[in-house]
């Protein structure tokens, strides 16, 4: 066999044809010997099936990813829309309806999608929504038993302070300053003062942002009742204090000695600084409290009085949550309702003008920023809607809360001693505690109205909160008039809150806080 093959090949190659010799001397014969034409077809078919499956699965997967991206974008806009309703209306049912309508209108076409969760977190001031969708997958369905691909997404909106909508730690847009005027009068005793404490602490928790590195969120607290307690440090700088005792003529026709309160524990400066309204041309202004513009000290019927009413001192602007919370927890209900004093001091805490004449070492960290500039196309802040207000470096807010009619105004009682105040003849106490005089500034309510008007003209947005006032009456009308009409979101009639229960009061303070705060998608 070997010889035959060798001979055959040799004879064949020795023939006259050179081309045949070249053919047989190349690797053509080798390729022909290895040819398996039926196997190649089978292998190609199998490879094609794999390639088509891979490509098809990739197409299915890409379709799912695209649907997921579109679903996420829809969910992000949905959570912001729902959170805005929650923010402005404090109505979660309405927010849910808004979420569903928005989601259904914006969800990707050709995808079966639905909301599966809408959950507010009152503790962390967030709103979370989740959604699922089914995406048809013709190729992947071979391994999914004919089922579509299931995708899910999640979005969370968070309220932040000074935020323009991009997050950035919560303070990436502007500073905020908020002054809370809080009623701690005798009528607030019992459960009402407890409700107020929780409501005020809620506002502090929401608005005082943890990251104060770039922009600040600061709150001042003004407890008020019979008077305002300026505290030793500030009181020494801004108050008249003419004498230990002063003789006043009273409405019952008698004259009596009245006394300024003493803090017997302080041997260096024994006088507490309860102050009343400022008299004269500076009465309804935020002029700095120097010279004749200082505030008169309130006098009391007994020399044994050792503290102001209220005992809680004013706290200038601060971002110290613990200090704010501790002050609020210290509130005790006592005294009558000098709402004009609380209103004035809420303004003072936000006014750079008022602080300008006070020594720089007094509450150096509590000084307010400059007022925002009035937009060129606005003639006054009162007539300048929120939509016209360009973002600035600071936004100022006052929150004025009370549970009763303002009934405490002061005069000097004819004592001829400048800066010594007693209740006038129309004030709250009985005849033996009313001076035989009338306040030159009229009633506490009238004064409060004038102060509110001046405060709003300065660019401060004013929120007012009534607590247990009923549905109508003089005090309800006053709070409505004091409240800003346009406010932060240009929503008329949204900045007065007439609450009747502790739950409503707490809800109102949360609403105010979240209205001041901004929204951004945090997850």
What are the tens digits of pLDDT across the range 241-262? 888 888 888 888 888 899 888 7
Is there a domain that residue 250 lies in? no
The domain boundary, picked from 142, 159, 176, lies at 159
Please give the structure tokens belonging to residue 129: 């929504």
The domain boundary, picked from 130, 159, 188, lies at 159
Residues 99 and 192 in one domain: no
Confidence band, pLDDT 50/70/90 cuts, at residue 140: low
Percent of the chain at pLDDT above 70?
74
Confidence band, pLDDT 50/70/90 cuts, at residue 230: very high
Q: Do residues 77 and 153 touch, judged by C-beta distance below 8 A?
A: no
Res 306: pLDDT: 76
The mean pLDDT of 157-177, rounded to a whole number, is 60
Name, in order, each residue with C-beta under 8 angstroms of 206's C-beta and a sequence gap of 6 or more.
Answer: 125, 159, 161, 510, 513, 514, 517
Confidence band, pLDDT 50/70/90 cuts, at residue 169: very low
The domain boundary, picked from 159, 190, 221, lies at 159
Confidence band, pLDDT 50/70/90 cuts, at residue 309: confident
Residues 112 and 133 in one domain: yes
Confidence band, pLDDT 50/70/90 cuts, at residue 331: very high
Residues 176 and 45 in one domain: no
Whether the predicted pLDDT of 115 surpasses 70: yes
Q: Do residues 274 and 280 touch, judged by C-beta distance below 8 A?
A: no
Res 168: pLDDT: 39
Total structural domains within the chain: 2
Confidence band, pLDDT 50/70/90 cuts, at residue 183: very high
Residues 92 and 223 in one domain: no
Res 58: pLDDT: 58
Residues 172 and 153 in one domain: no
Virtual torsion, Cα 375, 378, 382, 383, nearest 10 deg: -140
Is there a domain that residue 248 lies in? no
Q: Looking only at Cα atoms, what is the longest distance across the chain? A: 156
Is there a domain that residue 110 lies in? yes
Q: Where are the strands (E) in 136-199, listed by range? A: 149-160, 175-183
The mean pLDDT of 458-487, rounded to a whole number, is 89
Domain with 367 in it: 168-240+310-409+437-521
Whether the predicted pLDDT of 513 surpasses 70: yes
Residues 79 and 126 in one domain: yes
Whether the predicted pLDDT of 423 surpasses 60: yes
Is the model more confident about 429 or about 189? Answer: 189
Query: Across the chain, what does the average pLDDT equal?
Result: 79
Is there a domain that residue 261 lies in? no
Confidence band, pLDDT 50/70/90 cuts, at residue 215: confident
Residues 104 and 215 in one domain: no
Res 479: pLDDT: 95
Cis ω for the linkage preceding 111 (within 30 of 0): no
Residues 110 and 226 in one domain: no
Query: What is the pTM assigned to this prediction?
Result: 0.74
Is there a domain that residue 292 lies in? no
Whether the predicted pLDDT of 89 surpasses 80: no
Is there a domain that residue 273 lies in? no
Is there a domain that residue 113 lies in? yes
Res 70: pLDDT: 79
Residues 358 and 321 in one domain: yes
Residues 55 and 153 in one domain: yes
Is there a domain that residue 467 lies in? yes
Lowest pLDDT segment from 101-105, 438-442, 490-494: 490-494
For position 445, which CATH number holds?
A: 3.40.50.410
Res 50: pLDDT: 52
Residues 66 and 183 in one domain: no
Res 353: pLDDT: 96
Residues 155 and 175 in one domain: no
The mean pLDDT of 442-456, rounded to a whole number, is 94
């Amino acid at each position: 066999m070997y010889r035959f093959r060798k001979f055959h090949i040799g004879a064949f190659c020795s023939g006259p044809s050179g081309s045949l010799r070249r053919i047989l001397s190349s690797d053509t014969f080798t390729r022909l010997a290895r040819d398996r034409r039926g196997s190649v077809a089978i292998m190609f078919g199998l490879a094609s099936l794999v390639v088509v499956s891979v490509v098809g699965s990739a197409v299915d997967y890409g379709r799912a990813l695209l649907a997921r991206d579109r679903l996420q974008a829809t969910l992000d806009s949905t959570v912001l829309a729902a959170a805005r309703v929650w923010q402005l209306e404090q109505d979660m049912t309405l927010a849910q309806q808004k979420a569903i309508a928005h989601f259904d209108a914006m969800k990707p076409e050709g995808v079966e999608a639905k909301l599966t969760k809408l959950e507010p977190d009152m503790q962390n001031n967030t709103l979370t929504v989740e959604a699922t969708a089914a995406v048809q997958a013709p190729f992947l369905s071979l391994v999914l038993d004919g089922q579509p691909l299931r995708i899910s997404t999640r979005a969370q909106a968070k309220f932040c302070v000074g935020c323009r909508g991009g997050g950035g730690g919560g303070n990436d847009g502007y500073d905020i300053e908020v002054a809370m005027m809080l009623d701690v009068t005798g009528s607030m005793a019992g459960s009402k003062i407890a409700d107020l404490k929780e409501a005020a602490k809620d506002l502090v928790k929401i608005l005082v942002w943890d990251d104060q590195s770039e922009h600040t969120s600061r709150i001042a607290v003004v407890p008020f009742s019979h008077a305002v307690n300026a505290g030793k440090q500030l009181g020494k700088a801004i108050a008249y204090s003419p004498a230990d005792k002063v003789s006043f003529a009273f409405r019952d026709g008698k004259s009596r000695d009245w006394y300024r309160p003493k803090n017997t524990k302080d041997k260096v400066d024994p006088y507490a600084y309860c102050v009343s309204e400022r008299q004269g041309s500076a009465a309804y202004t935020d002029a700095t409290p120097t010279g004749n513009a200082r505030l008169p000290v309130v006098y009391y019927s007994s020399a044994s009085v050792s503290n102001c009413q209220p005992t809680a001192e004013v706290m200038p602007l601060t971002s110290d949550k613990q200090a704010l919370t501790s002050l609020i927890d210290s509130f005790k209900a006592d005294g009558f309702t000098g709402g004009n004093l609380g209103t004035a001091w809420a303004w003072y805490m936000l006014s750079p003008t008022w602080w300008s004449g006070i020594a720089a070492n007094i509450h150096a960290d509590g000084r307010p920023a400059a007022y925002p500039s009035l937009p060129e196309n606005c003639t006054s802040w009162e007539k300048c809607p929120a939509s016209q207000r360009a973002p600035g470096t600071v936004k100022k807010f006052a929150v004025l809360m009370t549970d009763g009619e303002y009934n405490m105004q002061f005069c000097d009682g004819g004592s001829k001693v400048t800066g010594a105040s007693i209740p006038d003849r129309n004030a709250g106490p009985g005849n033996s505690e009313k001076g035989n005089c009338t306040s030159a500034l009229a009633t506490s309510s009238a004064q409060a109205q004038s102060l509110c008007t001046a405060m709003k003209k300065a660019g401060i947005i004013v929120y007012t909160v009534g607590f247990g006032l009923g549905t109508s009456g003089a005090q309800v009308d006053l709070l409505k008039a004091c409240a800003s009409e346009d406010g932060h979101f240009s929503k008329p009639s949204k900045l007065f809150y007439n609450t009747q229960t502790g739950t409503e009061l707490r809800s109102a303070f949360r609403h105010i806080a979240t209205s001041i705060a901004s929204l951004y998608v945090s997850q």
